[in-house]
Amino acid sequence: MSFTHYGNFILSSVIRERACGWASPRGMPRLTPVKRKPAKKAKKAVVFFEVEILDAKTKDKLCFLDKVRTLFFSFHVFWYPARQSIRLDPKGKSLKDEDVLQHLPVGTTATFYFRDLGAQISWVTVFLTEYTGPLVLYLMFYFRVSFIYAPKYDFTTSKHWVVHLACMCHSFHFMKRLLETLFVHRFSHGTMPLRNIFKNCTYYWGFAAWMAYYVNHPLYTPPIYGEQQIRLALIIFLFCQIGNFSIHIALRNLRPPGSKTRKIPYPTKNPFTWIFLLVSCPNYTYELGAWFGFTLMTQCLPVAFFTLVGFIQMTVWAKGKHRSYLKEFRDYPPLRSPILPFIL
């Protein structure tokens, strides 16, 4: 037997031993079977994206991310995530935080446009600042501090009970807003541009001072129809305040904590929410009703002007939200109007 033949025999014996566990011939020691390693699972293909980020205004290249596994923020620390707006088109809408790169209509090489939203501030801070100012300012006029009216009226009280009622209603409204900001509202966006707080505070604080000056003025005259008008106005005011709070609770319950989920709001067992059958933004409807009641109660021109301006602004917000509902939900109830049933 040649060496080659013998070698082939031994090789074939080893193969048989490993396969069947037999004893080898010619007194060779038994070979123990060898366990085969399990085949490795095929690795999933990893798709890398090359992302180019341009300035939305100048079209200058800000950075190029090869095999994206990092954040734009790591290259530009000054532009922290809250102030970034990343878009597919320079004039398009900002991409949402939950958008996934693989699900966007782009190839493996994508171009995005960046816009700086400016310094940001949390919504909670904004609301607390906006609502604390009117509360404090109105009380200063109500107590007639020394530097507001003539010295002879310092720290005096009005002889008309509607003035005291108006102060209680105004304070109640803004206290309610402060408490809702802390314990009820859930914000889909955590921040807003810092510059907006100056505009918003000018609006709320300025109107509060203007209204309070005339309602608490020593020469203020009560409504024409007296107690009947005041009582009717108080009923409207309180009814709408309860309705507004009910809507805020219903909207809060639509969004779990820490979630940005959007759902169609529907009426609940609370009768104040049944207005959802006809209106997309009943919180604005009730807000408008409350200020109409306050206007009727005080019969004061600055209060009426504030109600009108607020109505215009809330209409703009309601129409925008109504359009958003129609675009996002195909089965959105067709009978609803933005803010006023069957009218607007």
Coil, helix or strand for 338? coil
pLDDT in tens, 184-212: 988 777 787 888 899 999 999 999 999 99
Task: Give me the mean pLDDT over the 21-37 stretch.
Answer: 50
Instruction: Read off the tokens for 23.
Output: 């004893």
Q: What is the pLDDT of residue 95?
A: 61
Written as one string, the DSSP assignment of 109-131 is: EEEEEEEE--SEEEHHHHHHHHH
Q: What is the pLDDT of residue 190?
A: 72
Q: What is the pLDDT of residue 256?
A: 78
Paired sense of beta strands 109-116 and 50-55, if any: parallel
Neighbours of 87 (CB within 10 A): 15
Query: What single-letter amino acid sits at 50?
Result: E
The model's confidence at residue 153, banded by pLDDT at 50, 70 and 90, is confident
Task: Give me the mean pLDDT over the 143-157 stretch.
Answer: 81
pLDDT in tens, 211-245: 999 999 999 999 999 999 999 999 999 999 999 99
Exposure pattern of 20-42 as b/e (b: 16+ CB <10 Å)?
eeeeeeeeeeebeeeeeeeeeee
Q: Of the given ranges (45-54, 83-92, 119-128, 140-149), which has the lowest mean pLDDT?
A: 45-54
Task: Give me the mean pLDDT over the 155-170 stretch.
Answer: 91
Written as one string, the DSSP assignment of 164-190 is: HHHHHHHHHHHHHHHHHHHHT---SSS
Query: What single-letter amino acid sits at 96?
Result: K
- The position carrying tokens 């080893």 is 14
Q: Of the given ranges (134-138, 146-150, 280-284), which has the lowest mean pLDDT?
A: 146-150
Instruction: Read off the tokens for 241.
Output: 């305040």
Asked if residue 18 has pLDDT above 60, the reply is: no
In DSSP terms, 111 is beta-bridged to: 52
Asked if residue 15 has pLDDT above 50, the reply is: no
Q: Which helix (H) or strand (E) holds 65?
A: strand 61-65
Question: Is residue 285 within 8 Å of residue 311, measured between CB atoms?
Answer: no
Coil, helix or strand for 12? helix
Question: Is residue 236 within 8 Å of residue 292, measured between CB atoms?
Answer: yes
Query: What single-letter amino acid sits at 202?
Result: T
pLDDT over 70, % of the chain: 66
Asked if residue 148 has pLDDT above 80, the reply is: yes
Does residue 269 come out as left (phi exceeding 0), alpha (psi in the -120 to 50 range) or beta?
Answer: alpha
Q: What is the pLDDT of residue 193?
A: 83
Of residues 15 and 259, the one with the higher pLDDT is 259
The model's confidence at residue 9, banded by pLDDT at 50, 70 and 90, is very low
The model's confidence at residue 147, banded by pLDDT at 50, 70 and 90, is confident
CA distance 282 to 338: 8
Q: Which ranges constitute the DSSP H helices of the chain? A: 3-20, 123-142, 161-183, 195-215, 226-254, 282-298, 301-328
Q: What are phi and psi of 241, to 5 degrees?
A: -65, -45
Ranges of each domain in the chain: 121-319
Q: What is the pLDDT of residue 6?
A: 35
Asked if residue 69 has pLDDT above 60, the reply is: no
Task: Give me the mean pLDDT over the 43-65 stretch.
Answer: 62
